Structure 1
Amino acid sequence: MGAPSWTDSQVGTMRRAALWLVQVIGEGNVFTKAQLREAFPDVAQIDRRMRDLRDFGWRIDTNREDLSLEAFEQRFVKMGEPVWEPGKTAKKPGAALTAVQRRELLTRDGHMCRSCGIAPGQTYAGTFEAAQLDIARREVRLPNGTTETQLVIECNRCRVGGRELTANLVDVLDRINRLPSFERGILAGWIEKGSRDFSELELVWAAFRTLPADSRGQVRAALS
């Protein structure tokens, strides 16, 4: 039995939105808010119903995730669960977060991106683009061999780049166990503080790496 038509009013709004994406827009293509509202003129909260699809694995990017999009555009990246099929719309535990939970997560992660350290509203280096923070769901490989989804605060850039990644807790723990005791103590201090201080030598090295080739040659000559 094939999927119903997105125009079938008996299907339900969220299911119709999913079908509209599949049958009209197509994966990888861009659509506008105006197109969505024109397709569902009698549905007051069609934007919210479409956002609900993300709880079922649908990936629909805005300009927060895809910097090539305009504010009024979205991209249908990937279909998730076929929500129009029976039994496919039972929400996964913890899929939706309350406002209180979001505030608690932001506080827990220090109101900064845990990948790059940028704060909300701070501009990315060399741009006028301000960072926005959101909650990313990250797959984590655990020591017992299982994988679970854990929540982390990331900026719009890092969240897109890390979307398909799986964090490897096993590898991190193994590498910590191989560290000398004094380095383990330094790492423990960084973790307790929530940040690390870079030495002047490390800062000079970072600055050196940004130099063009001719300038790097002058630095080598100066050191010799």
Structure 2
Amino acid sequence: MSAPSWKDEKLGTKKRVALWLVEEVGVGELFTKNQLREAFPDTSQVDRRMRELRDHEWRIDTSREDPSLGSHEQRFVRQGTSVWEPGKATSRHGIKVTATDRHALLLRDGHKCRSCGIGPGEQYVGTYVASQLDVARRTVRMPGGKTSVQLVIECNRCRVGGRELTADLDDVLARIDRLPVYERKMLAGWLDRDSRSFSEAEDLWAAYRTLPGDSRDAVRAALN
């Protein structure tokens, strides 16, 4: 099926933006917010319509995902579902997130990335890059084998890296059932506090794992 022209005003804005990206920008290429708005001068909320393409497996990076981009630059990384084809413009996830929803999710998740624990505006270790938090859609495998798409707060790094991941709630619940009573109580305490502390030995183990081979040999020798 040949694609229509992005200039066809009979199409919805989301379809036209998708076609504009394919026909005028091209996969892998940069464009600016001004170029998008100039292409659709009489269209309100064109930025939002473009963001909705992410629900159809389109990948459009901003400076949040790619720090090499300027604040007004974006990169068309991957084409997803051909939303201009009949029946394909409906969101795969079916979850719309409003500003109120986002605020509630940030409160629920403690204004922290649930994957790495970084807070908003904090710098990643060893870099001058500051984190930005946003809502991510995560596929979850439920008990019984069905999957569900649920919302979670993640930083820009984890959100991009986790797009293809599936969380396995069924496996987590099964493993909890196999825990001895004292470990279940310990885990319940961590969940109540939403944190856990690490012993000095555990911190040293983590540090040891990052050392080069010769240094790991020196640590092992020191313990013998």
Task: Using structure 1 for the length normalisation, give the TM-score.
Answer: 0.88
Q: Secondary structure at the match of 1:140?
A: strand
Q: Report how far residue 9 of structure 1 moved.
A: 3.1
Counterpart AA for 1:221: A
Aligned residue for 2:103? Answer: 103
Contact 1:106-1:153 at 8 Å conserved across structures: yes
Q: Which runs of no fewer than 5 residues in structure 2 stay unpaired? A: none
Provide closer, same or farther for how the CA distance between residues 209 and 2 of structure 1 changes in structure 2, counting only shifts above 3 A: same
Aligned residue for 2:129? Answer: 129
Identity, % of aligned pairs?
Answer: 65
Q: How does 1:165-204 map to 2 (within 5 A)?
A: 165-204=165-204
Q: Report how far residue 28 of structure 1 moved.
A: 3.7
CA RMSD of aligned residues (A): 2.3
Task: Using structure 2 for the length normalisation, give the TM-score.
Answer: 0.88
Contact 2:133-2:155 at 8 Å conserved across structures: yes
Q: Report how far residue 135 of structure 1 moved.
A: 0.6
Q: Report how far residue 42 of structure 1 moved.
A: 4.7
Aligned residue for 1:147? Answer: 147
Q: Secondary structure at the match of 1:171?
A: helix
Counterpart AA for 1:110: G
Across the two proteins, how many residue pairs are aligned to each other? 224
Q: Secondary structure at the match of 1:103?
A: helix
Q: Report how far residue 79 of structure 1 moved.
A: 2.9
Contact 2:14-2:49 at 8 Å conserved across structures: yes
Aligned residue for 2:30? Answer: 30
Deviations 1:74-95 (A, max 9, x none): 2223333433234444456753
Aligned residue for 1:117? Answer: 117
The separation in 1 between residues aligned to 2:215 and 2:54, in whole angstroms, is: 48
The separation in 1 between residues aligned to 2:80 and 2:93, in whole angstroms, is: 16
Q: Secondary structure at the match of 1:52?
A: helix
The separation in 2 between residues aligned to 1:128 and 1:219, in whole angstroms, is: 31
